[in-house]
Chains A and B, each alone.
Chain A
Amino acid sequence: MQAGLPTMQEVQSAVELIRRLLQELDRMLLGRAELHRLVVVALLSRGHVLLEGVPGVGKTTLIKALGQLLHLDFKRVQFTPDLMPSDILGSHILQEGPDGRRELVFRPGPIFTNLLLADEINRASPKTQSALLEAMQERQVTLLGTTRPLPEPFFVLASQNPIELEGTYPLPEAQLDRFLFKLLVAQVDEEVLEGIISTRRRGEPPSPTWTLSREDLAKLYHLMERIYLPRMVSRYIARLVSATHPHNDQAPPLVKEYVSYGSSPRGAIALAEAARAHALVCGRPTVGFEDVRAVAVPALQHRVLLTYKARLDRITPAQVVQQVLEHVRPVPLDLPEDLEVQSSGSNRREG
């Protein structure tokens, strides 16, 4: 057996931890099981998450709950147009020492934490948004020539409001690309609302009854490194990402018509990493095609740049990615057209 491949017991214990984590999250926030699952997948992938939704749907609450469950340091920054980079990264202040000497001392900003909630990130100026670039990608901060590493683990969970766009600054593509997932937080249905009203009188989620220790989180990260990605799956991911480019031969019609730029290689890496995490969540040591399909939309939808025509025709990036998934076959057999490989359980055909 390959040394790196996790054993069945290791995976089972990891799945148990994840199950309990999800169970706690589902208990604290009602009616968001799928969202919780994807957030956990993003956490296991060490990726940042951009939550998009109207106010009051529980974005901030979710992030707070996550911080409590993970026993991680948690800080929240409310992004406003007058927010400066130093307000996030920290600044040097002149301080007098015990010996009477004055010197510049670095005072860390709120970014020096494990879990950063960047609330309404699109309200900050591009200058401030760009201050997060280095931190999100390289997990370090450089000020006045001095580079300081961020605490491990480091997650940015940002939220943005899709309406009230007046006075906002849409996130630049470079920063969007640094988010592993972009998750759309939709409205909950009536039953969930009823449950929220009856059990959350002041809107505060209940306290967690179980938390994930740092050691357990480290174990999960360690296990993530050993999830096996088969060659055919990595090829499938590569073909999926290539198909998001309008000039690619495999691109579906929607891509060719509405996409101006496809996903970057960073998107392919993110998709592979997220698929690994999804496999672990599902209790498998190997990544399958279904893992890729499960995380493809949140991992790719913010990396696909649509044309203005798409806005006019009300085509969303999620629709585009969904068509890419339908168009690209997991296993291309390169058979002639008159030879069909027909699924015995479904109507899927390969030819």
Chain B
Amino acid sequence: MTVHEAVVKLKASLQWRCALRSGVWWAVVGLLVWGSVILVLRLVWPVSWWLHLVGGLLVVGAAVAGAIWALRNLPQEAQLSALLDAENQCGGILMSSWETCLDSWTQGVEVRRIPQVSWKKRKALALLAVSAVYVAVALLVPQRYLRPVQAESVAAEREVEKLEQQLEKLRELGLVESPRYEELQAELQQVRKNASAQEPGNTQEAIDHLEQALKQLALDALQKRAEERELLEQAREFAGVLREMMQSGQIKPNQAERVSQALEQLLQEAMNAKPGDKAEALKKWLEEHGNDGLFTEKELDDLTDLLEQWLKEQGLNWEDLAEVGLIDPEWLKRLKRLEIDPERLKNLRIELVRLIEGEGSDLDPEEFLLLLARCRGRCGSSNEGDGLPGRGGVTRGRADAELTFGKPSSPEGVQFRPEVLKPGALHNLDTLLVQVRKVKPGTEQRQESQGGALTESGGVGEGHQRQILPRHRPAVRRYFESGR
């Protein structure tokens, strides 16, 4: 084999191995980049999966570029000829023939041994497989495992969802008007949007504010419904008592007329408190039957039925509000007890009878109603009130807290420990001699004592100076140090 043939053969052997090796390595890099880009894209900006396949072109391009780069960086032919020369121990003849014309010297020179080029490809192929698996995993991993990367935020999602649920429940029960509902909805969305971790305090504050607003809405609705129901129950009992008294002849006609007028005003108050279909029906009934100012027994029967129906419809599913956390479960129990408490209705009836038979007989309807309102507070089943805010009762507020008298609390840090002072100098019982030092006799005026401050006394005009402190200073110091 001639020198040129050997060099060409060695070069070819190097070429394809270098190109293959470089292509594989560059493909590995391309695959790793591709897989990473897929993951990042799927994390921050989910796109269709087939768009990711375009990255495959990147890998192919990288492999081709790597192969081209390797081919361009192959050893020069002069180097290969030198390698052949060294391999065949030709003493420089081969490599010199590449640089200069040796003519007769190269005749008969044969290249018998060509170095073997080998590529340790195990590592490269293993990495190629790993990177391919990486790309496959990046492509095939379900999107649910790849949560979109967002700015770090406060975990306010659950709270906002709960508040939205509460708002929807209020709307469903008709306890919130449309403008207020939209306003609260907008505020909730704003909280959800601005729930950044940079100002978590603001987010929590807004959530608390909305929670309080929704609870206040529920509470207002609760009170309003309770008042409406109470008015209706009162009117119903009022009508019942009046009918019974008319039947038994316990009431005089003039008294019945004034009481009827008071009943009519009470009905007007109830209608104003709760406008609606039933209120309209009651209004129409009153227009038909209440013109003469005195209800008959039959009319009172009809009125009782009418109010009974209204009360049935007045019922509200308080449990829904309790479920979404808008009202306290304790309140729920009390509300139920309020609805079905026969004792309270009985008391109300007794109060009405007393009112009609007693003071009410000589009062005009407005004064009668004022007395009736006063008797509302007395008609409770117990001294505890009905347990609702604003309804009174001694068990509400701080006053109902139990007074316990157990072990006495430690006086440490609270009060002075008595200390018996030692007998001091007679001229100043409240001071303690701290230091006596020699000074130049002066003529300054004597300084006055400044309470617990460091004071100087004596020494004026003398050859020594005494520094004194209040005797109780250690006690004062212990007192303040105990607070730390």
Q: Which residues of A contact B (CB under 8 A)?
A: 1-2, 5, 7-8, 228-233, 279, 282, 284-291, 330-336, 338-345, 350
Contact = CB atoms under 8 A, between A and B. Distances in A.
B85 interface: yes
B105 A285 contact: yes
Given A230-B82, A291-B92, A2 B104 contact: no
Given A230-B92, A230-B99, A289-B85, A339 B119 contact: yes
20 contacts: A1-B104, A5-B105, A7-B104, A228-B100, A230-B92, A230-B99, A233-B82, A288-B90, A288-B91, A290-B91, A331-B83, A333-B79, A333-B83, A334-B75, A336-B21, A339-B119, A340-B119, A341-B117, A343-B113, A350-B83
Main secondary structure of the interface of B (DSSP, over half): helix
Given A331-B82, A333-B75, A341-B115, A288 B102 contact: no
A340 B17 CA distance: 10
Given A288-B85, A289-B85, A344-B87, A8 B115 contact: no
B104 A231 contact: no
**Which A-B residue pairs are the 4 nearest by beta carbons?**
A286-B92, A288-B91, A288-B92, A232-B82
Interface string B69-92: 000000100110011011101111
A249 to B, nearest CB: 20
Contacts of B353: none
A348 to B, nearest CB: 8
A41 to B, nearest CB: 15
Contact of B93 (A232, A284, A334, A344): A284
A344 B115 contact: yes
Interface of B: 14, 17-18, 21, 75, 78-79, 82-83, 85-87, 89-93, 95-96, 99-105, 113-121, 123-124
Contacts of B96: 228, 230, 285-286
A233 B79 CA distance: 11
Contacts of B113: 343-345
Contacts of B21: 336, 338-339
Given A2-B100, A286-B92, A338 B82 contact: no
B92 A343 contact: no
A146 B105 CA distance: 48
B99 A231 contact: yes
A275 B21 CA distance: 38
Contacts, number: 118
A40 B23 CA distance: 54
B75 A335 contact: yes
Contact of A339 (B17, B95, B103, B105): B17
Contacts of B82: 230, 232-233, 289, 330-331
B118 to A, nearest CB: 5
B41 to A, nearest CB: 33
A341 B18 CA distance: 12
B11 to A, nearest CB: 11
A333 B79 CA distance: 7
A232 B78 contact: yes
B101 A1 contact: yes
Given A231-B78, A232-B78, A333-B83, A279 B119 contact: no
B441 to A, nearest CB: 81
B95 A343 contact: no
Nearest to B21: A339
Nearest to B82: A232
Q: Which of B18, B85, B93, B119 has the most CB of A within 10 A?
A: B85
Contact of B101 (A2, A229, A339, A342): A2
Given A286-B102, A342-B115, 5 more contacts: A230-B95, A231-B78, A284-B91, A334-B75, A339-B119
Contacts of B123: 338
Contacts of B119: 338-340
Contact of A232 (B17, B95, B120): B95
Contacts of B102: 1, 5, 285-286
Given A230-B92, A232-B78, A338 B121 contact: yes
A331 B81 CA distance: 10
A179 B229 CA distance: 127
A168 B96 CA distance: 47
Nearest to A232: B82
A294 B137 CA distance: 60
A338 B121 CA distance: 7
A341 B83 CA distance: 9
B73 to A, nearest CB: 8
A231 B85 CA distance: 13
A341 to B, nearest CB: 5
B46 to A, nearest CB: 39
Nearest to A289: B86
Given A285-B105, A344-B113, A338 B78 contact: no
Nearest to B89: A290
B92 A340 contact: no
Contacts of B92: 228-230, 233, 279, 284, 286-289, 291
Contacts of B18: 335, 339
A343 B118 contact: no
A213 B113 CA distance: 42
Contacts of B79: 232, 331-333
Nearest to A286: B92
A328 B56 CA distance: 43
Contacts of A330: 82, 86
Contact of B124 (A286, A290, A338, A341): A338
A343 B87 contact: yes
Nearest to A9: B104
Nearest to A227: B92
A286 B99 CA distance: 11
A207 B90 CA distance: 38
Name the residue in B17, B18, B83, B121 with the highest tally of chain A Cβ atoms < 10 Å from its Cβ: B83
